[in-house]
Amino acid sequence: MAISTADFKNGKAILIDGKPNVIIEFQHVKPGKGGAFVRTKVRDIRTGRVNDLTFRSGEKFEEVRMETKAMQYLYHDGEDYHFMDNSSYEQIALNAKTVGEAAHWLKENDTATLQYAGEELIGVEAPMFVELEVTDTEPGFKGDTVGGSTKAATLETGAVVQVPMFVDNGDVVRIDTRDGRYITRV
């Protein structure tokens, strides 16, 4: 389905030079002289690269259908990450490059969101908030509950985050997966 620059919306996926891109932001510009144009900032879905592009007003593009599918994360066998569709019980194995940063936050039996551009799998997204156990951190001392000081903590998935001084080994913490930030102790 072809769309014109008048149909641009943030988050819409289009084909540019045969490559799927997501529109991050756009601006219609009508100068005093000459024809109108559209300034856009797009992110290449496959590479993640952000480009600033300018198009003539009314130019047509092919729209890419974006879909998401919730799947259960089963296990990591050293090479691949295995996921299962809860409705059909179909299992798929994905390499570490496809899973990307989500691998730091997924533990067995968590639900992840797989993102598709048309028929092509483009990425995996972890839940927004996860609760993980701290497996290794320096011990906290009495009086370390006040102030903004933090220390590094290794979580059960292998991810390393900054936590307050009072968090100890064995504590379960809630993490915001968008930026890897400590939220609270559970």
Question: What's the CATH number where 153 sits?
Answer: 2.40.50.140
Q: Judge if 102 and 135 occupy the same domain.
A: no
Q: Judge if 11 and 58 occupy the same domain.
A: yes
Instruction: Give the residue numbers spanning the domain of 99.
Output: 67-125
Mean pLDDT of 165-173: 90
Mean pLDDT of 157-166: 90
pLDDT of residue 115: 86
Q: Give the CA count within 13 Å in the CB-facing half-sphere of 185.
A: 13
pLDDT of residue 152: 92
**What digits encode the pLDDT tens for the residues 20-36?**
888 989 999 999 888 89
pLDDT of residue 160: 93
Give residue 43's pLDDT band: very low, low, confident or very high (50, 70, 90).
confident
Mean model confidence pLDDT for the chain: 88
pLDDT of residue 141: 65
Q: How far from 6 is each of 27, 70, 111, CA to CA, in Å?
A: 10, 32, 37
Question: What's the CATH number where 9 sits?
Answer: 2.30.30.30
Q: Judge if 75 and 114 occupy the same domain.
A: yes
Length of the chain: 186
Q: What string of H, E and C letters represents the secondary structure of 148-181?
A: CCEEEEEECCCCEEEEECCCCCCCEEEEECCCCE
Q: Judge if 135 and 114 occupy the same domain.
A: no
Q: Judge if 7 and 57 occupy the same domain.
A: yes
Q: Judge if 140 and 178 occupy the same domain.
A: yes
Domain count for the chain: 3
Q: Judge if 180 and 139 occupy the same domain.
A: yes
Domain boundary among 47, 63, 79: 63
pLDDT of residue 100: 84
**What digits encode the pLDDT tens for the residues 76-135?**
998 899 999 989 999 999 988 888 888 999 999 999 999 888 787 888 889 999 999 999
- Structure pTM? 0.71
Give residue 46's pLDDT band: very low, low, confident or very high (50, 70, 90).
confident
pLDDT of residue 27: 94
Statement: residue 172 has pLDDT above 90: yes
